[in-house]
Structure 1
């Protein structure tokens, strides 16, 4: 049975349902462009095409708005990454490479990458946001990546290592690439662009295989005699 005109949502209703996402999109753009502290709530409302009062109906403060932006753009992706981990049956090295590539594709290559730059540059002045970001992003991401590394150890695919240190070694280049994207990488006249997916793949390869040839003796390759 086809839906009658009366049963279809009105344009106004559809607009109302889309409003939270429009506010989040406007907030993300402005927070990245101007910084969190410098962005005024009325600017977010204006860019979304609503009044400041309407903004506060959905998000009662600028801090709550930023938290919602983080949940929408990063926390959700981490949750989906956890689903990938749970459903993967192959070798752990492949899982790790896939997970890191997906992290860059879903966050690093998108507007969400600006959130990381924003947090690093401003969070010291907003301790409540710092704690929220730690709980919502940092700790879940570390648990996810650390769980993959531990999986490899438990299955005998990786040698025993300090898991937390490996997680930091994997994630630090990601942060660098996102900062570069929103700093030197954003300068159109600088020939300093990085091929981020290749850098991510190389980082995973280095963590898995290192630089020293597998046939080299312990301690690294011997120096040639003069």
Structure 2
């Protein structure tokens, strides 16, 4: 018959469980905050609601995040801006041509961000940025500018290799951003209440956009060549 654990062992196990729970709390709070920010918006989301959804007290939330604004910034970093270093390295290591890279970037965006709750952050910022200029400046610095830079590098790679025609790369960035922003808005607005049989297929939509975009970007062979 196995021996019963000693009091010291029980105490150690309880302490370890508490420590594991403590370590998990920031992630649980960020997950709860993302859900509520996307569902209700920044202004309408209250700190106590986030704490309740995460299963902790409001005081516990403020042990980890000093304000609702700092909580929002942490949500953005966890889900988007904190991944730019990884995405930049992936771009640098990509071995295919620029056509393949462009298609990979746009479909990967949908898989990793667009199809997740994190895409609702874009809609939130579009609707509430004017009321929260500090958060708008933060989002511009940590998401918009690095994101634009990644797209710019993809386009410039194609131009430099001779695959893409010469173009105004700065405005070319918005050609790629447009379908992403449309899908983010659609997914968190009309897409929530559209009948299933009429629902837009995001992957098919992106592929159609990419196919048409590439018709304009690719260098065309000269007539008679």
Scaled to the shorter chain, the TM-score interval is 0.7 to 0.9
Aligned length: 211
Alignment of 1:91-110 (within 5 A): 91-110=97-116
How much is the aligned-residue C-alpha RMSD, in angstroms? 2.2
Select 2:77's aligned residue among 52, 71, 78: 71
Structure-2 separation of matches of 1:7 and 1:54: 22
Alignment of 1:109-148 (within 5 A): 109-148=115-154
The structure richer in helix per residue is 2
- The unaligned stretches of length 5 or more in structure 2 are 1-8
Structure-1 separation of matches of 2:57 and 2:14: 27
Instruction: Tell me the TM-score normalized by structure 2.
Output: 0.87
Select 1:80's aligned residue among 81, 86, 93: 86
Paired residue for 1:209? 215
**Structure 1 residue ranges (4+ consecutive) displaced by more than 3 angstroms after TM superposition:** 5-9, 188-192
8 Å contact 1:30–1:39 — kept in the other structure? yes
8 Å contact 1:20–1:58 — kept in the other structure? yes
Alignment of 1:27-46 (within 5 A): 27-46=33-52
- The unaligned stretches of length 5 or more in structure 1 are 218-226
Deviation sequence 1:145-193 (CA, Å, 0-9, x none): 1011111111111111000111101101111111111111100547541
Deviation sequence 1:119-166 (CA, Å, 0-9, x none): 111111000000000011100011011011111111111111000111
Distance 1:8 1:209, change over 3 A: farther
Select 1:187's aligned residue among 178, 183, 193: 193
Instruction: Tell me the TM-score normalized by structure 1.
Output: 0.87
